[in-house]
Chain A
Amino acid sequence: MSSKEIYSGNELVVKGAIAAGCRFFAGYPITPSSEVAEGMAKTLPKHGGVFVQMEDEIASIGAIIGASLSGKKVLTATSGPGFSLKQENLGAAMMAEVPLVILNVMRGGPSTGLPTRPAQSDVMQARWGTHGDHPVIVLTPAFPKEIFLSTVEAFNLSERFMTPVILLLDEVIAHAHEPLAVPEPTEYEVVNRKYPEKLDSLEIYKREMGEPPIRPDFFMGLPIHIDSLEHSDYGTPTTHPEVVELHQRRRLAKVEKYKDEIIKVKTYEEEDAEILIFAYGSMARASLDAVRELRKMGIKAGLFQPLTLWPFPEKALEKAAQGKKKILVVEMNWGQMIYEVERVLKDRNIEGLLRMNGYAITPVEIINRVKELTHA
């Protein structure tokens, strides 16, 4: 175990990225994510990596797509306004099946909104921001160790499924500086993309349902075709309906087929809880603080914390919510994930504690709302 040092959430993303093998970063600084660009600029050269500050957010994701196709593990970091700009190329990376990690440290929106105040209002954009039906993996860690491990996990999932993975933090946890003994390499796994045994086939997308392509990188000697247009097994453009449907379904199935392996959640005090709180990111931390206090007052509250927001942890939530009288969704937006909770827990009594004014919801406010709901 290494000794404890003080890190911000953003610094832990840098640590996690390097530990996962990230060796290329392209970005355009934006608060509250700028410390990630700063940290990558300082750290990457020491590991033989490359840092590029691009002219804007669109160019940044373009650059990491290129670097990923050339064999690097890649990262870009941004906040809401930049995340909006990246949506088109995010779709291109999903279509061409290019592994990459995008960090979005959420701040108040819409537009340039609230620099630099916290929000969690990009959670639906992370799911549906780019057009078309597409597979999505979104991770929402909360505590320092989770931020480090989820960053490693983001790279692992992107390499395994050959798809972009979105890491969502919010300003509160990105800027909080806290002591942590950074996990040793024995405490996590590092996954690398698979390569074909022989460089003899141009049918790089010819795979079973739900399986990612296995292909060489650029410059390995095979003239592979990569396209953002819908494509055949060869990667060349097609509008043939059967081919289109096959690959659309294959890409969606990558996440659907393996969602039980992808999804991670944590629960606290949920077994005998009468009221279950659903919260992620910094709001999971405020909620856990509230749950601990409520228990001292004799109020049976519990917490469901998704570390994977997308694919949505339906089964785990259903299980945790069994027998609960009330569900309280705590989020720093005007009601986004509450729709998913309502979809999964149809007939349950679901309430929201929501905010969008740039200030975090505090444990005391959560305690008061729970007391109201439980008539304590």
Chain B
Amino acid sequence: MPNRYEVRLAAVGGQGLITAGALLAKGVIEKKGMYATQSPTYTSQVRGGPTKVDILMDKEEILFPQATAIDLYFATAQKSFDLYYHHIKSDAVIIVDSDLVTKLPPGMPQKLYGIPLTKETVAHVGNIVTVSVVALGIVAKVSKLLSKEELQNIVVSSFPKSAEELNLKAIDLGYSLIS
């Protein structure tokens, strides 16, 4: 577990990534006993506007609650990727929905994973609203911030029982989409 780890999830309003960010922060606080904050950013456009959420995790108290050296950048829309591609470390991991983020900056130094996230979610979970939970599975696996069991526990305990089966399927898919 690193001393500090910063994650940014960039999406469009309505995809559920801000909720996913809140769950990640909650998970790290409850399961790892670390200090964590999450700061969402959105425009006045409710659905379809670019949104992001920064999740900071630290072994010590976080004084300034905004991301300044991001370790993992996850984007599910081109306009959001472009707008929030800053404060990313040169050795960070970048993950994008490869159908929705197609234009990448030339000479981008970071390690890139392109995953057809939305397509895979529809095909294997069957419900597009779980795309943020699939994304959480991917983030947890890459970052090693939470074990699969810990993530399952946080997700299941945060949503109604009726969503449990779908969410567990979504986590499984997230874990299978990245090695």
Give the interface of A toward B (CB within 8 A).
Answer: 4, 6, 31, 115-117, 172-173, 175-179, 282, 285-286, 288-289, 292, 360, 362-364
Asked if B37 and A178 make an inter-chain contact with CB atoms under 8 angstroms apart, the answer reads yes
Given known A172-B65, A173-B65, A363-B68, contact A4–B41 (CB-CB < 8 A): no
CB-based nearest B residue for A115? B44
13 contacts between A and B (CB under 8 A): A6-B22, A116-B43, A116-B44, A175-B39, A176-B38, A177-B39, A177-B40, A179-B29, A179-B36, A282-B64, A285-B64, A363-B64, A364-B68
- A residues near B41, Cβ cutoff 8 Å: 116-117, 175
Q: Say whether B68 contacts A179, CB under 8 Å.
A: no
Q: How many residues belonging to B are interface residues under a CB distance threshold of 8 Å? A: 21
B85 within 8 A of A: no
Contact of A362 among B22, B35, B62, B66 (CB under 8 A): B66
Q: How far is the CA of A363 from the CA of B58 in the complex (A)?
A: 16
* A172–B39 alpha-carbon span in the complex (Å): 8
Tell me, in angstroms, the Cα distance from A362 to B56 when the chains sit together. 14
Closest CB in chain B relative to A331 CB, distance in Å: 15
- Residues of chain B within 8 A (CB-CB) of A363 are 63-64, 68
Q: Which 4 A-B pairs have the closest CB atoms?
A: A176-B65, A289-B63, A115-B44, A289-B64
In the complex, B134 has a CB within 8 A of chain A: no
A31 to B46, CA, bound (A): 11
Name the distance in Å between B69's Cβ and chain A's nearest Cβ. Answer: 8
Say yes or no: A31 contacts B66, CB within 8 Å.
Answer: no
List residues of chain A with CB within 8 A of the CB of B44.
Answer: 31, 115-116
**B42 contacts the other chain (CB 8 A):** yes
- The smallest beta-carbon distance between A129 and chain B, in angstroms, is 23
Q: A4–B25 Cα gap in the complex (Å)? A: 13
Task: Please name all residues of chain A whose beta carbon is closer than 8 Å to the beta carbon of B38 when the two chains form the complex.
Answer: 6, 176-177
Complex CA–CA separation, A4 to B62 (angstroms): 15
Cβ of B8 within 8 Å of any chain A Cβ, yes or no, is no
Q: In the complex, what's the smallest C-beta–C-beta distance from B31 to chain A, in angstroms?
A: 13
Asked whether, in the complex, the Cβ of B43 is within 8 Å of the Cβ of A115, the reply is yes
Identity of the chain B residue whose Cβ is nearest the Cβ of A286 in the assembled complex: B64
When distances are taken between beta carbons in the complex, the residues of chain A under 8 Å from B66 are: 172, 176, 360, 362
Taking CB atoms, residues of chain B closer than 8 Å to A115 are 43-44
Indicate if the CB atoms of B35 and A285 lie closer than 8 Å: no
Q: Given contacts A6-B29, A177-B38, A179-B35, is CB(A285)–CB(B63) below 8 Å? A: yes
Identify the closest chain A residue to B65 (Cβ): A176
